[in-house]
């Protein structure tokens, strides 16, 4: 199908983009991998597209004790980042998105603002405790913790008059490890089940802290507290990770979604397997 007619304007700066948003009520577009397919099937029909794809201030990764990721940073830039302390799970997840064409054009900001539950980055950012920064007209900024940013199915805490400009996260310490494990849909490469684990260990290999988030099977990226309860205080082994991961099923409860490709029961069975894999891989990278 074809989208309904629309106007196209290009913004040269964040300020201009927000002014155009205020004047036209249009939608921002950069890579377009989420918005354009929705326009073609007329799930959304903006009257104006505001192209922000050439605003250089929104592109790139900077290090200042932690990391600041511009909203126009591509998935391939995340996957190839080599700075010390850059979270391994984020590189891992970015390298699993789509195909090379998608990774080279798709942007972090567009991916996150779209809040697709089957996307990979929301799950990773939630587990990493990232902070989302949005700007509104006039230059006012607002910070949102990643677990609170994703509010529901294709829904986020981003206001209509705001533009997501950056994501900030801490660097991984020497005692910390992270990993992302994913059950792919073989056609789309979206996550049927995605699990991100971030763990800390002491000198004896005992887990001292653990954060696990899941996506793909839930309406939004979801942090699971119960997994940490079962792992902290124990060494991270295949057996301890498997035991801790079983708690994920009870905590997710009835929030599991299914579709024609993978039903709820199948996703429920796969959940502890991929949570366990993420925990073991994160543990192997820690310390």
Average pLDDT over residues 261-283: 97
Average pLDDT over residues 228-257: 96
* Distance (Å, whole) CA 254 – CA 222: 13
Angle of helix 238-245 relative to helix 264-285, nearest 10 degrees, comes to 140
Q: Phi, psi at residue 72, to the nearest 5°?
A: -95, 10
Please, what is the average pLDDT of the chain? 96
Which tokens go with 204?
Answer: 């004896």
> Are 7-51 and 176-285 equal in CATH topology?
no
Categorize the per-residue pLDDT at 2 as very low, low, confident or very high, splitting at 50, 70 and 90: confident
Question: Which numeric CATH code is attached to 7-51?
Answer: 3.30.43.10
Residues 6 or more apart from 8 whose CB is under 8 A from it?
A: 48, 49, 51
Categorize the per-residue pLDDT at 229 as very low, low, confident or very high, splitting at 50, 70 and 90: very high
* Distance (Å, whole) CA 198 – CA 210: 6
Categorize the per-residue pLDDT at 242 as very low, low, confident or very high, splitting at 50, 70 and 90: very high
Fold of 176-285: Enolase-like; domain 1 (3.30.390)
Reply yes or no on whether the pLDDT at 15 is more than 90.
yes
For residue 33, the model assigns a pLDDT of: 87
Which tokens go with 226?
Answer: 């119960």
Give the domain ranges of the chain. 7-51, 58-170, 176-285
For residue 64, the model assigns a pLDDT of: 87
Helix (H, G, I), strand (E, B) or coil at 215: strand
Average pLDDT over residues 263-285: 97
Q: Which CATH architecture has domain 58-170?
A: 2-Layer Sandwich (3.30)
DSSP classification of residue 56: G
- Picking from 96, 125, 274, 287, the residue whose alpha carbon sits closest to that of residue 207 is 287
The DSSP code sequence of 26-39 is: -EEESS-TTHHHHH
Reply yes or no on whether the pLDDT at 287 is more than 80.
no
* Distance (Å, whole) CA 247 – CA 218: 15
- Residue 7: alpha-carbon gap to chain centroid: 30
Reply yes or no on whether the pLDDT at 1 is more than 80.
no
Question: pLDDT for 64-102, tens place per residue?
Answer: 899 999 999 999 999 999 999 999 999 999 999 999 999
* Distance (Å, whole) CA 287 – CA 176: 6
For residue 220, the model assigns a pLDDT of: 97
* Distance (Å, whole) CA 65 – CA 177: 17
């Amino acid at each position: 199908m074809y989208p309904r007619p629309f106007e196209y304007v290009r913004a040269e700066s964040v300020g201009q983009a927000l002014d155009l948003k205020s004047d036209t009520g249009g939608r921002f577009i950069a890579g377009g991998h989420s918005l354009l397919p929705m326009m073609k099937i007329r799930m959304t029909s903006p009257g104006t597209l505001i192209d922000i794809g050439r605003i250089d201030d929104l592109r790139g990764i900077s290090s200042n004790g932690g990391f600041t990721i511009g909203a126009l940073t591509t998935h391939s830039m995340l996957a190839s980042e080599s700075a010390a302390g850059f979270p391994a799970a984020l590189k891992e997840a970015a390298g699993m998105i789509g195909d090379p064409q998608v990774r080279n054009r798709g942007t972090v900001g567009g991916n996150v603002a779209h809040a697709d539950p089957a996307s990979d980055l929301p799950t990773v950012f939630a587990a990493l405790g990232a902070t989302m920064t949005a700007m509104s007209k006039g230059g006012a900024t607002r910070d949102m913790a990643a677990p609170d940013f994703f509010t529901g199915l294709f829904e986020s805490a981003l206001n209509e008059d705001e533009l997501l400009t950056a994501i900030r996260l801490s660097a991984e310490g020497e005692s910390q490890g992270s990993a992302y494990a994913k059950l792919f849909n073989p056609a789309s490469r979206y996550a049927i089940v995605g699990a991100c684990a971030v763990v800390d260990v002491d000198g004896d290999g005992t887990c001292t802290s653990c954060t696990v988030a899941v996506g793909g099977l839930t309406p939004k990226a979801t942090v699971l507290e119960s997994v940490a309860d079962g792992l902290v205080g124990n060494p991270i082994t295949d057996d301890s990770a498997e035991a801790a991961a079983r708690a994920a099923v009870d905590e997710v409860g009835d929030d599991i979604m299914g579709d024609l490709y993978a039903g709820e029961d199948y996703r429920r069975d796969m959940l502890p397997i991929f949570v366990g894999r993420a925990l073991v891989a994160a543990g192997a990278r820690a310390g």
